[in-house]
Amino acid sequence: MAHDSLLEIKNLMTHFHLHEGIVRAVDGVSFDVRRGQTLGIIGESGCGKSVTVHSILRLVPSPPGNIVDGQILLHRGGNGMDRVAVDLARLDPRGAEIRAIRGAEISMVFQEPMTSFGPMHTIGNQIIETILLHQEGVESSDARDLAIENLRRVGIPRAEQIVDAYPHQLSGGMRQRAMIAMALSCTPRLLIADEPTTALDVTIQAQILELLMALQEEVGMAVIFITHNLGVIAEVADEVAVMYLGRIVEQAGVNELFDNPQHPYTQGLLNSIPHIDEEKLPRLRAIEGVVPDPYEIPSGCAFSDRCPSFKPGTCDRAMPNLDETVSGHLVRCFLYSDVEEGLTEGENGG
Amino acid sequence: MADDNELLLEVNDLRMYFPIQKGILRQTTGYVKAVDGVSLSIKKGETLGLVGESGCGKTTTGRCIVRVYQPTGGEIVFHDEGEIVDINRLTRQELKTFRRNMQMIFQDPFSSLNPRMTVLELVGEPLLAHGIARGQELEDRVAEMVRSVGLRVEHLPRYPHSFSGGQRQRIGIARALVQRPKLVVCDEPVSALDVSVQSQVVNLLQDLQSDLDLTYLFVAHDMSVVRQISNRIAVMYVGKLVEVAESEELLRDPKHPYSETLLSAVPRPNPHHHMQRLNLEGEPADPANAPPGCVFHPRCRYMEDICQTDVPALVELTPGHHVACHFADQLKLQGIDYARSPRA
């Protein structure tokens, strides 16, 4: 499995040092992104999903944010001897090396296309800038044609005219298409999509999801797709990681995760949402409580204070490990792992 | 639940046009027809869901009903214990007293609560403004209300910033319900909340409805949430209602092409569901410059000549099922297939 991975994250920790204390926004996250595959990351606000991907591109503002531990390995070259890996976690966030990667090898689509385009330049100029920065030997006259071609590829009508439009002149759906056109203009190997359809209407969301999946097939890129919508993740992802308070609590292939959810948090999420294609329940089965404040995370398992399967003396004493229960299915819960082992490790480790 | 057919609210031909002003003289050059001839009725004790995409006029409809906006035209008839009141004709003074009967719950619990007021002041303010209670009585009523929305009495002296989004929404609900309104317009009350908190608030709204005998107009864009809470669903598109029906019937057997597409676009939390999605080309029409004929015709898969010229009326196709489409009785549309029973 490891040899076709494009991006390997090992024990990533991104912490924010604030006046009120340290926020462990990402606290030991590891995952692989394989070539051409889609990894979905799902979680509620404050679970660290955005900070994780911002860490990959080194977009976390520092201070206060710091990658305090871990590796982010971007693999280049084929499977043979010429294979090299760059550790993005060690690059200077303002240096030339990461800037050459951003937008070229790894690019990103944000939730709100209005704030991620500069309002003072035309859509075309912003795409042309990306092309000229990252593609050597492209003349500025050709860059404009390339920009128009990219806009056409994402289904923007009248691309020759839209290329000269300012972001505010486009509708939300069109802006998101233009954002995708810009992100794909240099044929990245990895696209990070951070809630790309959350701000859009359902019919427009459906269009954008179809577009992203078609382009992924065409370009052959890998995608990290972040969302809080279980329906969207079921549709786009091959592999799904569920995050809660800075850690992955469950990870599996998309079918396995939805057919056989094992972590009480994943089960709770799936049970709490209304399912439109099932018979209506008189009441939704809500998860108790709220996501705790980042300064008041319960000791032991972070989900212990809301968990219906909470075992006193176990779950509040140590953080369970992320263990494989069946092949390819990782769960961080004492229901499935060796309690004694977890406890000793947790107590030794503090 | 609606035990009889007693009407609480009837809206007839509601219109809300916002003028477009241009130039230094602010001359009116056109109108945004946000709501253009909406007629609906809500029975006592029921929940009517109003769905549609952004810009379709669903929020404006809700705001006209509680007269946050002064509608351009139409009637809003409220049946108040035998009395019949046209909300659109009330004077300012009459409206002020009448507002006790209808309240609103807003989408964003971060911007809808005054950050300088404590929970006690926020929830108590409507009681003071209407002269319903003051002093100790006010505090008692606020405390009771706050408890019934799942907050604690210790929360009363705190300010909104110390609460999470879900708790703030509970404060907003308490503030709306403290004066015992009959009709509550819920404007996207859960769409700004986290997934695990959304279901708590939906349950709370359902519990309060049966405890306090409330009638809801539930405005939202999320079809799954609307179906969970609504007895009937009204689908809106560019200022007009296109379909109204019992919620299960609308899901199973939609009669308007727009409802069909809207249902097929809902992402299903089920990776085995390989939908034949009906992709809707293009974007909603501009309400300032709506197309002639049926407003949906430029995006409709079943469009024929008549759709480009004649506006279809909202007619009752089968009892309780209203559709505005020239071909509603001929089209075979695809709804939701309840293949699965609820998860164990």
The C-alpha atoms of residue B279 and residue A66 are separated, in whole angstroms, by 43
Identity at A82, one-letter amino acid code? D
> Distances from the Cα of B300 to the Cαs of A174, A232, B54, B303, B321, in angstroms?
20, 25, 18, 5, 20
**What pLDDT is attached to residue B344?**
47
**What pLDDT is attached to residue A80?**
63
The C-alpha atoms of residue B250 and residue B231 are separated, in whole angstroms, by 11
User: B198 — contact with chain A (CB < 8 Å)?
Assistant: yes
Candidate from A206-215, B149-158, B204-213 with smallest mean pLDDT: A206-215
Phi and psi at residue A9, to the nearest 5°: -110, 125
Range B199-203, long-range pairs (CB < 8 A, 24+ positions): B199/A272, B199/A273, B199/A274, B199/A284, B199/A285, B199/A286, B199/A287, B200/A286, B200/A287, B200/B150, B200/B166, B201/B166, B201/B169, B201/B170, B201/B173, B202/A274, B202/A284, B202/B228, B202/B229, B203/A283, B203/A284, B203/A286
CB-nearest to A277 from B225, B280, B337 is B337
Phi and psi at residue B173, to the nearest 5°: -70, -45
> Distances from the Cα of B67 to the Cαs of A108, B99, B102, B272, in angstroms?
44, 9, 10, 46
CB-nearest to A203 from B200, B262, B269 is B262
Cα–Cα nearest to A227, from A193, A201, A256? A193
Cα–Cα nearest to B251, from B318, B316, B334, B314? B334
Q: What is the per-residue pLDDT across B264-316, written as a single tens digit (0 to 9) for each? A: 888 888 888 766 677 777 778 888 888 899 999 999 999 999 999 999 999 99
Q: Over the Cα atoms of chain B, what is R_g?
A: 21
**Which residues 233-272 of chain B have a CB within 8 Å of chain A?**
248, 251, 261-272
- Chain A residues within 8 A of B188 when measuring between CB atoms: none
- Residues 6 or more apart whose CB falls under 8 angstroms from that of A232 comprise A197, A205, A209, A225, B267
Contact B325, B256 (CB under 8 A): yes
pLDDT-based confidence at B250, cuts 50/70/90? very high
**What pLDDT is attached to residue A132?**
92
Identity at A239, one-letter amino acid code? E
Cα–Cα nearest to B173, from B128, B206, B222, B137? B206
**Which residues 136-175 of chain B have a CB within 8 Å of chain A?**
164, 166-167
Question: Which helix (H) or strand (E) element contains residue A110?
Answer: none
**What pLDDT is attached to residue A292?**
85
Question: Per-residue pLDDT for B189 more than 60?
Answer: yes
- Residues 6 or more apart whose CB falls under 8 angstroms from that of A238 comprise A37, A38, A39, A253, A254
CB atoms B199 and A286 under 8 Å? yes
**What pLDDT is attached to residue A337?**
77
**What pLDDT is attached to residue A8?**
94
What ipTM describes this predicted complex?
Answer: 0.85
CB atoms A280 and B228 under 8 Å? yes
Length of chain B equals 344
Cα–Cα nearest to A4, from A209, A222, A219? A222
Cα–Cα nearest to A48, from A190, A183, A194? A194
pLDDT-based confidence at B210, cuts 50/70/90? very high
CB-nearest to A284 from B199, B221, B271 is B199
Bond before A63 cis per omega within 30 degrees: yes
Q: Which of A256, A290, A306 to mutate to test the interface with B (most CBs of B within 10 A)?
A: A290
The C-alpha atoms of residue A348 and residue A198 are separated, in whole angstroms, by 42
> Distances from the Cα of B224 to the Cαs of B1, B188, B190, B284, in angstroms?
19, 13, 12, 21
Question: Per-residue pLDDT for B27 more than 90?
Answer: no
Which residue in chain B is spatially nearest to A257 when comparing CA positions?
B271
**What pLDDT is attached to residue A343?**
54
The C-alpha atoms of residue A145 and residue A141 are separated, in whole angstroms, by 7
Which residue in chain A is spatially nearest to B162 when comparing CA positions?
A293
Q: What is the pTM of this model?
A: 0.88
Question: Do strands B73-80 and B83-86 pair parallel, antiparallel, or not at all (unpaired)?
Answer: antiparallel
Tell me the average pLDDT across B67-80: 92
Tell me the average pLDDT across B329-344: 75
CB-nearest to A234 from B196, B224, B271 is B271
Q: What is the mean pLDDT of chain B?
A: 90
- Chain B residues within 8 A of A209 when measuring between CB atoms: 267
CB atoms A206 and B268 under 8 Å? no
- What does the block give as tokens for A17? 């040092």
User: A201 — contact with chain B (CB < 8 Å)?
Assistant: yes
**Which residues 269-308 of chain B have a CB within 8 Å of chain A?**
269-273, 277, 279-280, 283-284
pLDDT in tens, chain A (350 residues): 445 889 999 999 999 999 888 999 999 999 999 999 999 999 988 899 999 999 999 999 988 899 999 999 999 876 666 678 899 999 999 999 999 999 889 999 988 777 788 889 999 999 999 999 888 888 888 999 999 999 988 888 888 889 999 999 888 888 888 999 999 988 899 999 999 888 788 888 888 898 899 999 988 899 999 999 999 999 999 999 999 999 999 999 999 999 999 999 999 999 999 988 888 888 899 898 888 888 888 889 999 999 999 988 889 888 999 999 999 999 999 998 766 555 555 444 43
- Residues 6 or more apart whose CB falls under 8 angstroms from that of B224 comprise A273, A274, A275, A276, B266
- Chain A residues within 8 A of B58 when measuring between CB atoms: none
